[in-house]
């Protein structure tokens, strides 16, 4: 019975800060044994959700259960289940990695020997052995972030909360952190991470919830979401700005979708119409069409959609802008299951 309890269940979760509604009836159900990513632009409510799970904010409405414990009714039970790593690494730079972890373990109430054991386990888990004896001031960004993950693991939480774990990291460090997070998930820790990088959700998540203006706008296994919304984009840059409308017309004719035109950079782009129309096939048709219209092409290519484009598809408005009125466009119902 106990392994049937969902990892997280949010229903109509609402959190307000004064006049700002940060979570506006947020729904989510996620099982254990998977890596869950909350994906959304800045200001969408991701950190607020993490803080609600960590019992650090009090919801104004709705319910939230963490491994069966109600955050409002039994916050202490919730806190026992979780570890939290924030956007900024809380690491003492003058101490070594090992000392940092041992200190954290002592703060968790471990005696000296148990603290040493917990620290060693975490160092192993995060592959920090080579640097554990060095002062943290000398660590790379990725090493520091991994140590911070480690600090949130010494209490052996069943749920690890990672709020934007790679924001601000260089690409190499980002890959290091991804590898560490993947390792933790494989070793059996439930992970909830937030991100505004589509690519990060893509790399790591089994289950993705897309959040916008405090609501879940789409949810499901990543492969399913990608099949529905993650379609290829064809982008053309014309050599002669005057030919941009002709290029847009070709894109529209081939894909049946409305192209986006950006006169400033002489570019037009379009989402490939359906999952059954692969980007490469459509690209060939676009090239033929452009040649037929004597459009001279500066650059052309097929690429994965940006988060911005996924958002546009889902919500009818661009990601990254806040506080604008609800679009009349397509809004997928919060299909969190």
Ligand X SMILES: Nc1ncnc2c1ncn2[C@@H]1O[C@H](COP(=O)(O)OP(=O)(O)O)[C@@H](O)[C@H]1O
Positions in the binding site for ligand X (CB under 6 A): 17, 20, 22, 40, 42-48, 322
User: Which option in ligand X, Mg ion, none does residue 334 bind, with CB closer than 5 to 8 A by kind?
Assistant: none
Where helices occur in 159-221 by DSSP H, the ranges are 171-186, 198-204
- The residues with which 301 forms a beta bridge, in sequence order, are 235
CB 50 within 8 A of CB 22: no
Mapping DSSP to helix (H, G, I), strand (E, B) and coil, where does residue 1 land? coil
Of 42 and 240, CB closest to ligand X: 42
As given in the structure block, the two tokens for residue 146 are 């991994």
Smallest CA-to-CA distance from 319 within 311, 329, 328 is with 311
Q: Give the integer Cα–Cα distance in Å for 85 and 150.
A: 9
CB of 142 to ligand X, least distance (A): 22
CB of 53 to ligand X, least distance (A): 12
Of 40 and 59, CB closest to ligand X: 40
CB of 18 to ligand X, least distance (A): 6
User: Which option in Mg ion, ligand X, none does residue 239 bind, with CB closer than 5 to 8 A by kind?
Assistant: none
Alpha carbon 121 to chain centroid, angstroms: 27
Of 51 and 144, CB closest to Mg ion: 51
CB of 11 to ligand X, least distance (A): 18
Q: Give the integer Cα–Cα distance in Å for 289 and 253.
A: 9
User: Which option in ligand X, Mg ion, none does residue 279 bind, with CB closer than 5 to 8 A by kind?
Assistant: none
CB of 162 to Mg ion, least distance (A): 11
Of 53 and 122, CB closest to ligand X: 53
Give the DSSP H/E element, type plus range, for residue 171. helix 171-186
Q: Give the integer Cα–Cα distance in Å for 158 and 191.
A: 8
191-202 CB burial, b ≥16 within 10 A, e <16: bbbbbbebebbb
- Site track 14-53 with Mg ion (rule: CB under 5 A), x = hit: --------------------------------xx------
CB of 148 to ligand X, least distance (A): 18
As given in the structure block, the two tokens for residue 332 are 């997928």
Of 20 and 156, CB closest to ligand X: 20
Of 39 and 238, CB closest to ligand X: 39
Residues that bind Mg ion (CB under 5 A): 46-47
């Amino acid at each position: 019975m106990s392994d049937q309890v969902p990892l997280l269940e949010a229903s109509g979760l609402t959190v307000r800060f004064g006049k700002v509604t940060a979570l506006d009836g947020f729904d989510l159900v996620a099982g254990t044994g998977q890596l869950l990513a909350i994906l959304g632009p800045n200001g969408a409510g991701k950190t607020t959700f993490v803080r609600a799970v960590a019992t650090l904010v009090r919801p104004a409405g709705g319910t939230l259960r963490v491994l069966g414990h109600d955050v409002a009714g039994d916050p202490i039970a919730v806190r026992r289940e979780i570890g939290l790593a924030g956007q900024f690494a809380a690491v003492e730079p003058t101490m070594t990695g090992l000392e940092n972890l041992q200190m954290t373990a002592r703060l968790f109430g471990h005696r000296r020997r148990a603290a040493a054991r917990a620290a060693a386990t975490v160092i192993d888990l995060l592959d920090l052995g080579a640097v554990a004896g060095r002062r943290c001031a000398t660590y790379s960004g990725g090493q520091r972030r991994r140590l911070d993950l480690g600090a949130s693991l010494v209490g052996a939480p069943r749920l690890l909360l990672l709020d934007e774990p790679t924001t601000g990291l260089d690409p190499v460090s980002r890959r290091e952190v991804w590898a560490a997070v993947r390792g933790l998930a494989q070793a059996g820790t439930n992970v909830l991470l937030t991100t505004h990088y589509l690519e990060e959700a893509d790399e790591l998540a089994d289950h993705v919830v897309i959040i916008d203006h405090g609501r879940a706008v789409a949810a499901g296994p990543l492969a399913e979401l990608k099949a529905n919304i993650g379609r290829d984009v064809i982008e053309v840059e014309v050599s002669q700005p005057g030919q941009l409308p002709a290029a847009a017309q070709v894109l529209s004719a081939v894909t049946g979708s409305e192209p986006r035109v950006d006169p400033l950079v002489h570019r037009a782009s379009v989402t490939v119409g359906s999952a059954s129309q692969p980007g490469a096939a459509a690209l060939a048709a676009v090239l033929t069409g452009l040649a037929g219209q004597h459009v001279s092409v500066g650059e052309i290519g097929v690429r994965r959609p940006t988060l911005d484009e996924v958002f546009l598809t889902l919500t009818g408005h661009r990601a990254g802008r806040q506080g604008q009125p609800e679009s009349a466009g397509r809004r997928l119902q919060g299909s969190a299951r």
